[in-house]
Amino acid sequence: MLLLNRQSLVKKFLKRLQKADIAYMGLDSHPVFQTVIPGKVIDYMGAALPIIGITSGYSKHIIELAGAGVVLDKEADLNKLEEVVMQWISSPKSRKSYGENGKRFATQYFNWEKNKKELERIVAKTNETSSNYVRLERISK
């Protein structure tokens, strides 16, 4: 029953996400965000939503690398946030471009099946060389 409930919630979330024009993301400057991408970044990119975020670390790097949106520093004032939102409201083409960039990046790098196959390939190669260690690297440097 819990699984069905979770699936229902996921469907509701995706429907709401599809109705959005812009995705906002604000993250505390916690050390974990220097090396981890929150799932919402991947969700927003996969939904082709342009992201406006107040974040740092790896999330900032990925959003900027993908061209998926605009990232402001924590010290950025509300005027800058408003400026970006107003620009996107007046330019649907710009919004769409950021969203498409994010979608393309997510499809290329955050695809479960593709990543599963790559991990299996790495593990198989590691087993062939009788190594006891598997080394995974970030998708970008």
What is the predicted pLDDT for the residue at 138? Answer: 61
Question: What span, in angstroms and rounded, lies between the C-alpha atoms of 24 and 93?
Answer: 18
What's residue 124's pLDDT? 79
Place of tokens 């999330």: 59
Helix (H) or strand (E) holding 23: strand 23-26
9-110 has which CATH code? 3.40.50.2000
Query: pLDDT higher for 92 or 131?
Result: 92
* pLDDT for residue 1: 46
Cα–Cα dist 48/67, whole Å? 12
Q: Is the pLDDT of residue 19 over 80?
A: yes
Give the domain ranges of the chain: 9-110
For residues 46 and 103, the answer to whether their CB atoms sit within 8 Å is yes
Q: How far apart are CA 12 and CA 6, in angstroms?
A: 10
Report the pLDDT value the prediction gives residue 47, as an integer from 0 to 100.
92
Tens digits of residue pLDDT in 58-107: 899 999 999 999 999 877 778 888 999 999 999 999 999 999 999 999 99
Q: Residues of the chain with pLDDT > 90: what percent?
A: 38
In the beta sheet, which residues pair with residue 132?
none
67: left (phi over 0), alpha (psi -120 to 50) or beta: left
pTM: 0.74
